Structure formats: C-alpha cells, structure tokens
Structure 1
C-alpha cells in the first residue's frame, strides 16, 4: 500500500492510494475521518458486482487513506475501532492492573465467561454465577456466544472506566446481534475486548487473555488496511469477531483467527500468567502416569 496527499480542501484532504494490486484510488478524507469521495477504475463501481477480494481491496484503500492522513497530519482520522495505537495504550494499561483492579473492572466479564463451564468436570468454577442470562432469541450452542466490554483510559493512560457487557450471538444463520447490559461513559472508548468464553478462573491469566485479544486486534487493524503488521503482532488467535468471517471464508486471507494455522511468520503466543510457577507445574507432572498432563495440572489451573 502506498499513498500521497494530493491536495487539501476546505474540510479535508484528497489522497491518492495505490493498493496491493497497483490500482489507484482517489479518496477524499474529511478532517474527522469521514470518507466523502472515492474514485477508482480497477474494480466494479457497484458493490454488488464485486467479488469478495475486490470488495476487500476497496476497503483496504479507504482504511489506508484514513491511516495515512493520521500519520501525515495533525488530524485524528482513524476510527477508534481500527486504531492500533489506542489498542496498544490499553494493552499497556491492562498489563499494570493488580488482581484487585481486574476484579473491579472485569469481574463480571470473568464470571460471565466462566459460567459457561458450570457443568464441566474439569473446571472448578466455585460459587460463580452468571451475571447476565443469555438472550432468549439466541440460536445455536452456548459456545457460539461472544462477549465485549469497552475500555476507557484517563489522561494519564490508566484505565478509568469500562462499559457494561455486550453479549454477541446469532439470531439466524449469518445474522449476529449484540445486546448490552449496564452503562458506559458518554464518549468513544479507547478499545473494546472481544472474547469467547475460556476456562480461566484466576484474574491474572484472565487479564492476559484480554491483553492477547487486543494484540490480535492490533494485527487486524493492519491487515484490514492491506498491510502486514509489525513482528510483535504477527500472532494467531481471535481478534475482532467481525473479521473472523473474512479470515474463515475469503480467499484473500489466511485463517489468522485459528491458533494452529500454518501461516509463515505467524505464531500463537498466548502465555497466561499462571497462579503457580512453571517449576511447580513440572513437579506436579509425571510422564509415567496414564492420565493426560492436562488432567494432572487442572486442579491448580482451573480452581478458584
């Protein structure tokens, strides 16, 4: 992807973007990031006539234009939900949270996630109860549910507030809906964690789970504007759910969301902070036993 600002107008910039297919796009970017014009001659003008890859290249050019203007001018033209720098700021704030602060900000989200394992004999959820019941119009299994929670930083870069919990679920094949519980500050969030249920019972590894999700989301930000992410973000795993369908179904993308995907340069690097040391784990395991390593250590990892 390449770009040049060709002119400044009364309300923004005219940007020339050359996409990864060497197609040129003339895109108007307003000072607030809104796109007020897009001309190109390499793909069908009508969206309905474009195939998936052509539509993605159009989207890449638009997002890259917003990114380029933000890099080259003083205007904040990147939508908050594709702003890799803001996500990284939230990651840094997350990493510094104590267990008590994790419980304060994300305790309900942790309980909501853990409640999916109430009948799993391998996971001891203690007295955890589900804060919010799943929607009655949900179809499919509980495993298809996702959860969101917006995060807001203060001027010092610390976590100041979080929203309530958003439950993301299917109401029909291919149709997904999010219902929110609780309040949120009246401003744009700095990030929104987007997770699936996981059998993590301790606040510290759950914090790391949220951190890794945001790391994958930073990866998504780059990929969605047609760029390879920096090495730190070449990771596999679930980022923003809205991109999972693209990775799963569009020929343009490898399956970045799958932790065992074979994509050169990309690895799955989720290494949660465990409630016991690695040395203790080694002492607990015996290769000569007939049961699995998971069975031997689950009491230490999945109990409250």
Structure 2
C-alpha cells in the first residue's frame, strides 16, 4: 500500500535489519514478544530499557536516551495496564502515567527524526455499546466503558498524537489496536491482571491445591476475543512492512468466546476438575468486544495460534516461571 501524507509519498517495505530498533516496554507481554519476533526476523540492533533503567514518565531522561540511541524505528508498547479492579481503583494513575509515557516517547521520537513509529493502543478505546464486530470507524462515536475510561482516554490521545504527527510533519507513523492479549511475561498478579492471566492463576492454584471450587467475577456471559502475544508481534512487524495509513488498525483473530467458555478451557488445560461458580455481584464490563479485522486481513495478515494451543503454551510458561512472577 502506497499512501501520501501531505503530499509526501511513502511506500512500506522491508525494514533495515541493521538499523537501531527501539522497543519501549521491551520486557512486558507485548514488548517482549515483539523483541523475540524482531530478533527471529534478523534485526541485529534491537534496544530497550527497563523501567528501573529509564522512567518513561521522565521527559528529560527519555529525550536523552532517544538522542543517544538514535533509533530508526520505534514501537511504543510501554504502558501502565491492569484489569477491571485496577482500572476502577486507580483511574488517575492509568490516565496520568500513560499520557506522560506516550507524550514523552512520541515527542522524543519526533525530535530525533524517527522514521517509522508504531503506537500500540487497546480495544477499550471503542464505545461500550459499539456495533459488533467493532470497526475502526467506531472510534469516538459513543460512551466508553466506565470501568476503564481513564485508560481508554489515554490511549485515544496516543492515536490522535500519532495522526497529528502524520498531518503536521508528514511522517509515516501508524497505530494498532490489539484485542485482549495473553502469553509469556503477562501480569499474573491477583490485583493487577487482566481476565485471562487472572483465570490461569486462579485455576492452576486450585488444581495444585485440590480445591473443589473456583469463583469468578460476573456472570460469565460477556464475549471476548483473545490473541496470543506472539501473533500480535508478528502482526506488528507485518504492519510496519506492509501498511501505511492514518487510521488505527484493529489486530485480533476475528472470533470471540464467552468468559465461561474460556474459563472451561483453562480449567481443562490446568487439570482443574472441580466446580466453577460465578459471583454475579461483581461487574461484567462490556457485554461483547469483538474487533473487525478486515483492514488487517486486507493488508495480508491473519492470526496463526489457536486459543487451545495458546492456552497450553501460556499455562506451561506460567508454571515454569511462577516463582518469579509479579505479585
């Protein structure tokens, strides 16, 4: 796909494998998967810093790092993330931290002439009651899910920031909106995790302890789409090399399951044979969230890891690393 930004034509193509490629958030769920994919794809100079080494909320430090490394490509995968409980309890943190991270990294990338930037958002940017499957055009057409609206607003700001750079400076920066992701290096904390890693931990602990029951939040009826982080990473590289356009691109599988169905899958994979109960006094969140991935498919990419395979791989990784996980 060849597009023009303010009269400047850019044709996506194979990225320079010898160029410096900065992955912000390189140790997180998505960032670590992107690093694995880039290295497997022959990129020789993939760089990143831990949050202890570089606080992305520190504007001066971010500018200094970007000036020192001079990356040609950047993927912004760093973010403060969490599930319903964390987002509901700490909305200021999710809004403030993420806006600062995004503004600092994107401004520093612009100041240092980064050629290609991929900003990663979240499917929670879309209205709570958007038509399903959710098309990219649904952005800003309705009210957000109130349990994570602060995080969503921050991510919407990142999308608009990326689009503004395209309009004002003509740079071929793009953004992608993944569906619910899972895989190695996820946050399995009981307080801060998303639904799928929380379920994996809950069912695995129940299986190990021999518990008779597991109790989950809500009714189990909401429908969700899940994508393995390794598929997400592959999609990111594909977009960088094959797509250019101002609108955000949905990244997902194009199919969904109920929370009760995913719970049953995890129970089976972990070996839990007891009863699953549902605490209906707890919130369900958005009733359905399925992305329309037509744009991505038209760009030549589809997911390759089935949910069953992805669950088996993730549970195996969790068990191998449980002693070192975030708590």
> What is the TM-score with the length of structure 2 in the denominator?
0.24
Give the number of the structure with larger relative contact order, counting CA–CA contacts within 8 Å between residues 6 or more apart.
2
Larger radius of gyration: 1
TM-score normalised according to structure 1 size:
0.25
